[in-house]
Structure 1
Amino acid sequence: MAVLAPLLFIFLVLGLNSINGDTDPSDVSALVAMYQSMSSPGQLTKWSSSGGDPCGDSWKGVTCSGARVTEIKLPSLGLSGGIGFQLSSLTSVTDFDVSNNNFGNQIPYSLPPNVQRLNLAGCGYTGSLPYSISQMASLRYLNVAHNQISGQLPDMFGQLPSLSNLDLSSNLFTGDLPQSFSLLSSANNMYLQNNQFTGSIDVLANLPLKTLNVANNKFTGWIPSQFRNINFLNDGNSWNSGPAPPPPPGIPAPEGGGQTRQPSGGITPSASGSNGGRKKSGISGGAIAGIVISILIVAAFIVFILLKRRSKKSTDIEKTEPRSLPPVPPQQDSIQDSSMVNTKSVDPPPVINLNLKPPPMDDNNISFDDIDNDFTAKPIVVPKKQSVAPPDATSYSIADLQIATDSFNGDNLIGEGSIGRVFRAQFEDGKVVAVKKIKPSVLHGQLSEDFIDIVSDVSRLRHPNVTELVGYCSEYGQHLLVYEFLKNGSLYDFLHLLDEYSKPLIWNSRVKIALGTARALEYLHEVCSPSVIHKNIKSANILLDSELNPHLSDCGLARLVSDADQEENVGSGYSAPEVSMSGQYTIKSDVYSFGVTMLELLTGRKPFDSSRTRAEQSLVQWATPQLHDIDALAKMVDPALKGLYPVKSLSRFADVIALCVQAEPEFRPPMSEVVEALVRLVQRANMSKRTVSLEQGSAVRTRDQDSPRES
């Protein structure tokens, strides 16, 4: 009985807790936000926009274990609108299914982090897959079929070892399959049909697949032999016919008669490809190196002979007796530095330095012709890899853009920065875009191929909070970038150019803008490889869409910013102290600039304002000492908010700012930690009824301009 008594007590406590059904507050908050984001939630019986007890009251589609929500299943209910931006707080949810509804827009970044089954099929989603999916280590089933998700698949599948069922079918995906697909070690069923994928499917060859459907795409190459014994559907592609070519000398063919071709062009043996102790055949690496060295020596010798012959004809020019050139020692034949310049020397004998430069576009061969009539050899032309037009960016003609912008009329000018002017452009079909006309001085004499390389790099940046590059133009010495058009302008406009007809940003919108911008930087710094340093984070480069979702612009264009422009940025108030001293930018410099932008959101002040007293001209210097003083903090808040903000949320916002604007870069947090802090801030926000009601009323009056919802 002594043992049974405490067990009975525990049972009664747990039983009463289950009966009371007190749902975890963070789960309640997330479900309420989800309900509020929907436009037609009438099917959700017992759900409420003012709280409640989802577990105890048995909200439709909600399953609980104890006080935590574990499943949300709302398929085919005719729901529309959005699904909220607090789903990441549903840490116990393992099954999330909102398929076959009418949500549209982009899949939200915030999703249940520990979900095992995620079904977002048939919801009309556009845009791209959110990178938060890449962090779902427990994910086993992912279905986003029958949407309108477009662009190239991000290389984000490396941390999903449990994913066994993946359905991406019937979307608008383009480009090659990501290399991280090869790490899906549990993949059994994969459905990629009815998209526009290109390239080969070799990256899937060694997965433990049972079913693979790649029909109706634009795949090319040979079908790997590993797919002979699985349920494989592949019609509607452009496969190479006949057997795959043999492997290069020295590399044994894989057993089974098939070859696994990697996207890099190399061929690797199959998993069981042992040579069984047989003697290796083919050319060794040392032999290949020897051949290359020999070719270089012969090439140098040919140059030497040509120079010698020309030197005999140069008597009339040099007015000296011709001199024979001694042989060049073998150790001097190798090219040491591609930046070496040609030199003319009489004594000692001339040394031939090879100056590497791009060849003509129609010539991929090395030429030794047309050597000058002195002892200086004309640079040997070494072929350079030609730039390839970005597959995901449209090439526009200058004529098309002139028509769309009314010859770049000043009436269509919507912005101007250090890189160039931005114009509103409207095509005949009604499509509106933003055209950035790059200043001729910005490219520093770079070739058009270099510009295409920049375009190619920028076009690969895909994130809901990064401004999307849709096209480019490179004609007649003109270089232009074509971006998506965001009608609400920049954050700078909202904060500093308000007129009597404008509505100021409410607190929820400011936090939402900060969080979205932080996610954009987290993507650039920690997802992209190599990391992308922005170098110009400021409110003017944060553009807002119709729902006030932030889109960071000028990403990937840092190399176009001149030294003079960088010096100008230093005086803007956004630059980190180390940039002012050394001119060197790092990802921690971006973190500092982001902190300044958050401070701008909090106070409504410009980072540097010469119209104020000297003590208040620098926003960081004035505000930093007051960030941890709650009374002083209340006086710093933007007066446009009229006191409508939650005090705790304000304090946490200030704490994040203080971390970001620290003088020492090593003490500033990575952007992933900033994102986590802002997400917690949103989750813990506990606004008063007065604040909530007034803000919601404001949102209703200006929904097109200041909606608190995040898609």
Structure 2
Amino acid sequence: MLEDRRLVVLFISFSILGLIPIVINGETDPNDAAALKVLFSSMNSPSQLGWPANGDDPCVQHWKGITCSGNRVTEIKLPGLGLTGTLGYQLQTLTSVTNLDMSNNNLGGSIPYQLPPNVQQLNLANNNFTGEVVYSISNMTALTYLNLGHNQLQGALSVNFEKLSSLSTLDLSFNSLSGDLPQSFTSLSSITTMYLQNNQFTGTIDVLAGLSLATLNVQNNHFTGWIPEQLKNINLQKDGNAWSSGSAPPPPPGTPPATRSTRTHKTSGGSGRNAPSDAGASDNDKKSGIGGGVIAGIVISILIVGAIVAFFLMKRRSTKPSSDIENVDKMPFAPLASNEVHEMKAVQISSVPDTKTFVPSASFNLKPPPIDRHKSFDEDEFSKKPDIVKKTVTAPANVTLYSIADLQIATGSFSVDHLLGEGSFGRVYRAQFDDGEVLAVKKIDSSVLPNDMSEDFIEVVSNISQLHHPNVTELIGYCSEHGQHLLVYEFHKNGSLHDFLHLPDEHSKPLIWNSRVKIALGTARALEYLHEVCSPSVVHKNIKSANILLDRELNPHLSDSGLASHIPNADQVLNQNAGSGYEAPEVGLSGQYTLKSDVYSFGVVMLELLSGRKPFDSSRPRPEQSLVRWATPQLHDIDALTKMVDPALEGLYPVKSLSRFADVIALCVQPEPEFRPPMSEVVQALVRLVQRANLSRRTTFGSSEHGGSQRGDNSEAQEM
């Protein structure tokens, strides 16, 4: 008996030490399992993964590519599997994931805002991701490796790198990113490798001067200015830019001399030492018995012998039989490892003029090289993706096709009596049908969509018909007939927010504070849906109070959603109507609209709700004509803030709620787009505002307390 007890004690002791495995129920965390199911569905349920259709325990069932620790998923590595679809919207619940590798697939859409928050290595390279680099990366403080190369990302780099001090490798190569490099790059204290080649970056690279970089590739951008002295002694690739010629201007007085970081970097030969410069030769070198001329002779001899050997090897390999060459075409392409040299040549197919399709020559190494995830892909290593052929767009089945005759009858032949408003893309009419249904019909101007662009219009309709959100105006139908292009939307009884704020009539009451907060929150949720849920992201481009429609309960509905994003010349049309006070500063300079410019415009709408003023009002004194310019300096001064509140509120508002509302406005209307928050953070801030003010849904959002009466049908002015 005593011997048995000793054996039990030893067994338990060894088990605690990990020498004998104990079988424990490893049921996967439900949140992790649910997130992987959403990911699986978003990727079109790929059969090549072999994940069980009804499986709900990735850790115990050992799903392919999934690594667990205990009951938590810690790694998702699914590279090179031909995966399609998107990454879904629920990855943020995977809080224990430290490595997410989805590289070398065919995934598309925008990179989701909801990424694993504690990931250390994120590799999404060589896919078809579009849109901007998501701002949520700014908060991934554990990141050491980030590779988004070889995608279709565009827009300015709005990520704030201040918290990414652990990041050592950054690869954004082969995208269409534009704008200047962000000033927050200076916070990348651990960065050693950076690939920015083949983008459209502008400005100088001065912001990189103080970083401890060992490798930097900025080829084929639009950089200007001089290359900082600190970057001239590293592995720098810089061709294909508009660098300034001549000597650089002297540094400002008091600037310390340019020095590189003393951090030790490995050279391409694998040595862990920094290569000494000629000027820094030690006394030991001088005392050696070998003169400089002898060393030079030895080096030259070695180079000559090496060249002769290489020549005969190349000649020998070029005589391989054609059967070996044919086998090369059947091999999967893989990026070359950074520590190996593989010869790869490409010849353009002569039978297809002006194409970018390449085939490997006979000198291609027949042994597939190992994949090095830390190396940026070059154009010679991967054949370019084929040009996307525009496919024929079929009419959407989930919306109604109306005839011109039906719409003419319903709108009184588009008479002035039925006119609700006029926006940037056309006029909106009230349409009442024989069955009593009332809808809003938008007649798009021929200058926006010419008569011969019917196929483009069907594509616009198809895209808009996919937008479904409680705070987004629903598309009901369309008409494309006799060169006319019309959109039919749901109708909202109470008209637009612009009318409520700026065109009151004798039947309406001013909006109370709770209703204003409700409208701001609902509109923010609509934008969050467009920016961060839709794939690809939808930039609205035309956020203004006239495009926020109110229903009977004063719930907001954002109109024009998706319209400006898909009309070919929408940016030019909107720029012609500039000067309304809603445009972000960068839009006025570049004419380009982004997710961040939407955030700015939303901040202006919030200012309207707070002050009751128009974004630009020429009837006011010059210092007060621009609402943002006049209001911004006062947003953090509680005394000044209470004076700028809409007089129609008659002081009936919680002061703390007002102050927090102003704080959100200040964030949204910042002049620098990279510092504006994403809409999901705006939504969270407004939700917290409501919760802190203890505004329950019943007392705040109920139909018994609208803060404004309904308007007559003919007094509405919807601008969609």
TM-score (norm 2): 0.47
TM-score (norm 1): 0.47
